[in-house]
Structure 1
Amino acid sequence: MIESEELQQLRDQRCENGCLTIYLNTDQGQMDQKKGEWKIRLKNGLKKLEEYLESSSTDEVTAYQTIRKIAEEEILNNQTTLTKSLIFIGSSSGDWQLKKLQVPLENDFRWEKQPVLDQLEQKLEAYPKTGILLIQKQDVVAVETFLGEVESEHVYTWDAESEDWKMYQGSSSSNVAGAAIHKDQFDQRFDANQQRWFKQLAVKIQKKAKKNGWNGVYLVGSPDQTSDFEKQLTMNNVEVVKKNLTKLKSNQIINELFAS
Structure 2
Amino acid sequence: MRRVTELAIMPRYRNLAAGEVEDKGGNDPVTIADKESEALLREGLTALDSSLAFVGEEAAHADPTILDSLEQPCWIVDPVDGTRNFANGKPPFGIIIARAEGGEAQSGWLYDCLSGRFCAAHEGEGSSIDGEIVSARPTGGTPPIAAISMIFMDEDRREATKRHITPHYELVDIPFCAAEQYPRLALGVNDISLFERTLAWDHAAGALWLNEAGGKAARPDGSPYRVDEVGRTGLLGAASPALWDELAELYEKL
TM-score, scaled relative to structure 1: 0.26
Higher helix share: 1
> TM-score, normalization: structure 2?
0.26
